[in-house]
Structure 1
C-alpha cells in the first residue's frame, strides 16, 4: 500500500506537470496499472485486511486465553512473556510461528484492559533540600579486563534534579552505608527525607499501609545524619519516579557502550565527574541548568558533621591456621589470637579485625570466592618454633619480597640451619622495618659475603643511633687540664713498687 505522499506526487506530476503515466511509473518504479488506480484516489489509503489471520492457532487459542486470564491476576514480575507462552504452546503441540502468538497476546491485553485503566498521576513539587530518592541498578562493565555485572547506587535530589551514582561489586548493607557517605559528601549536605524501595538493607518488615519496621543498623545511619527514611508502597515505583527514570538515562548515557576501567576506584572517580558534567543540562521544570539549582539547594541541605562509620560487624572464631572466613574468603589474623573470638568489621572496601577493642589486622576486601589473603607478619611468632614452615608455608610462598631480600633468602636457605637464620632476620626486620632489611641485603650482596650474621651486622649498623659530632656539656663538666699519657701514674695510685719475681 502506497503512502499518501507518493499518491499526491503521482497526481501532481500527471495533472500539473502533465507527465505521462509511463514516465511516472518508470521514475517511481511502479506499475502503470498502479499509477492509473491512484490517479483516481483522493482519500487516505486504507488496508483491506484490518486483522492478521491466525490459521494455525486453532484449538490452542482457548489454551492461550486460559493462561492469560489466570496470569492477569498475578504480579507483573510473575507473568509469562509472549516468548514463554509460545514455548509453552510448543510443548502442547503448537507448530505455528511466534509472530501469531505475539500478535494475539498484544490484542488480548488491549481488549482485556478496562477503558481508562491507564493510571493518572499528579505532578509533584518539592522544596529545596526536602527529598532525595535512592535506588539500585545492575549494569554491565569491564573491570581490569573481566566482564562482570556490577551494582550501581543512584541518588537524586528531587528539587534540583542533581544525580549521583557510585558502583560496587555487591548490593549489601555496608555498600549502602558507604554510598550514603559518598553521596552526602558529593551533594554538600543531607536532605530532610530519603525515599527507598523496601530493600532488605533498609526495611526488616512491611506493616500495614506506610508503616515499616526499619533495619536497626540502618536507623543508626539515619540517626547519625538526622534524615527521615521513607519506604515506598511495594510495586509502586512511581512514588520515586525521578530516580526510576534516572536509572534508564544513566544506563544510556554512561554505560552504553560498554564502560572499561582498571578498577572500581577509577570507575567511581569517572562516574562522579560525569555526574557533575550532567549538571550542565537544562532543568526540566525551571529556567536555568540543573547545576545552578543544585547550587541554590545546597544552602537548604543540612551540613555534614562527620562521615558515618558504616560497617557490618560479626563475631568469628580464629582457626588454628590463624584465619577468619568472610564471604567465602579467608583473611589472616596475628597468631596470638588463634582459637580466640574476634570482632570482624566488614566495610565496603576493607576488612578490620578487632580484639579487646583494639584493631589487630586490616585487609583490603576481596570479592572473589575461596581466596586466601594473608599477611606474612601475622605468622612470624610461629616461625620461631617452626622455622621449617618458611619453605612451604602459603603466606611465605606468596610473599613478594624486594629482589635483594629474595636473593639473600634463597642463598641463606641453602646453608645449614638456613631456615632459622633467615627467621632471625625477619624478627629484626619486624621492628626495624623491611626497608632496613632490603638495604642490608643489598650491602651484603655488594660485598659478596651473604650470611645471616653479615646481614644482621649491617642491619644493626643501619639502625644504630648516630653519634653527635659535638658534645654540649655544662661548664662544671668541662675539662680544665687535658689528661696526658703517663703510665707512671698507675704506680702512684698503687702506692708501691712493682715486685718482680
Structure 2
C-alpha cells in the first residue's frame, strides 16, 4: 500500500493518523512510521513465497488484515465469504484460513492484544483411534405423526477419530431408551470407546452446577459406564464447540437420510440410515482427508471389547412412606 499520496494530507492536517490507518487498513503505528519525515514513503511489500511466485491470497492480504484489525476474532469463513461476495475473490477458503493463522497473532501483537485475549478462538483437536466418541440427540419432529406417533428423536454416536457414525430413531429420550441406544451403538461399532463426550443432559448429570464445580453424575450413568469400561466426559458450561463432530452428524443425517422422504415406521427410519451408511463411509472426509470407512477400520480395531453380559438400566425413584404405610 503506497502512502505517498497521504503524506501531504497528513502534513497539512487534513487527515489524522487514525483516519489514514482506517483508509489503508494499516496499523496506526505503521502509518506514523512511514509518514514521518525520516521514514520511507511506503511499507515494504510482502515477500512472495517460493521463487518469486505470488499467491492468490496475497492480492487480498491487505483486505484480510483490515478485517482482522477491525475484529481480531472474526471467523475465516466470514472473511472468505465477504471476499468472494464483495471483491470477487476466487481462491479457496483453505488459503484464507492458512493466511489468517499467520496473520492473526501478528496483527494481535500490533494491536497490543495478549495471547490470552485470543482464547475465544477454537483450535480443532484430533484423537487417537478408539479414544473417544461423542453423543447427541436430534429432534426430528412429527415425521411419523400421520401414523399416530407424535414425536420422533434421533440418537447419534460418532467416533471422533474416524467420524464413523451411528444413528437410531426413538419415541422417547428417557433414561432406559438413552442407554439402550448406547448398547445398539456399541454393537454397531463392535466395541466401546475409551471415553464418551456428553452435554449436560439430565440422563447423565444429576443437576446443573456453576462453572468450575464438579458435576454430579447420574448413578445409572456411572453404573453403565463402569460396566462397559468407558469414561464419562461432560462438557463444561458454555462450550458449544466441544462435540462438534456429532452435532454436525445430526445435520448430515437429517439432510441425507430424512429430507424429501416419507416413512411409516421407526423400522423404516433405521433401515434408511443403514442403507445410507456405505455411502457415508465411502466419502473422503474434509478434515482428516481420508476415506471414512478406511479410517473407521483402525478406529474399530482400537475399541475396547464388549462385556459378556449387557447392563440393564432401570429408573429408580425415592418416595416417602407414611406411618400408615401409604406410599407417596
Deviations 1:178-213 (A, max 9, x none): 010000110111011100000000011344426211
Which structure carries more relative contact order (alpha carbon 8 Å, separation 6+)?
2
CA distance in 1, matches of 2:314, 2:149: 28
CA distance in 2, matches of 1:204, 1:131: 23
**Count of residues paired in the alignment:** 206
Contact 1:142 1:258 (8 Å CA) reproduced? no
Aligned to 2:241: 238
Aligned to 1:254: 257
Contact 1:210 1:232 (8 Å CA) reproduced? no
CA distance in 1, matches of 2:280, 2:178: 23
Alignment map for 1:5-44 (pairs within 5 Å)? none
Contact 2:136 2:156 (8 Å CA) reproduced? yes
Cα deviation, residue 137, structure 1: 0.9
Stretches of structure 1 lacking an aligned partner (at least 5 in a row)? 1-113, 317-340, 342-501
Deviations 1:7-42 (A, max 9, x none): xxxxxxxxxxxxxxxxxxxxxxxxxxxxxxxxxxxx
Contact 2:227 2:307 (8 Å CA) reproduced? no
CA distance in 2, matches of 1:244, 1:315: 32
TM superposition score normalised by structure 2 = 0.57
Q: Answer yes or no: is 1:312 the counterpart of 2:268.
A: no
CA distance in 2, matches of 1:185, 1:137: 21
Alignment map for 1:43-442 (pairs within 5 Å)? 115-118=71-74, 119-140=120-141, 141-142=143-144, 145-146=147-148, 148-207=150-209, 208-209=211-212, 211-261=214-264, 263-306=265-308, 308-313=310-315
Contact 1:190 1:303 (8 Å CA) reproduced? yes
CA distance in 1, matches of 2:243, 2:150: 28
Question: Cα RMSD over matched residues?
Answer: 2.8
Contact 2:137 2:154 (8 Å CA) reproduced? yes
Deviations 1:401-453 (A, max 9, x none): xxxxxxxxxxxxxxxxxxxxxxxxxxxxxxxxxxxxxxxxxxxxxxxxxxxxx
CA distance in 2, matches of 1:306, 1:205: 32
Contact 2:144 2:150 (8 Å CA) reproduced? yes
- With over 3 angstroms needed to count, the CA separation of the structure-2 counterparts of 1:256 and 1:148, relative to structure 1, is farther
CA distance in 2, matches of 1:164, 1:259: 21
> Looking at CA atoms only, which structure, 1 or 2, has the larger radius of gyration?
1
Aligned to 2:23: none
SS at match of 1:205: coil
Aligned to 1:96: none
Cα deviation, residue 315, structure 1: 8.0
- With over 3 angstroms needed to count, the CA separation of the structure-2 counterparts of 1:147 and 1:214, relative to structure 1, is closer
Stretches of structure 2 lacking an aligned partner (at least 5 in a row)? 1-69, 75-119, 319-325
TM superposition score normalised by structure 1 = 0.38
Larger % of strand: which? 1
SS at match of 2:241: helix
Deviations 1:107-152 (A, max 9, x none): xxxxxxx833444211211110011001111013226734643111
Cα deviation, residue 307, structure 1: 5.1
SS at match of 1:238: coil
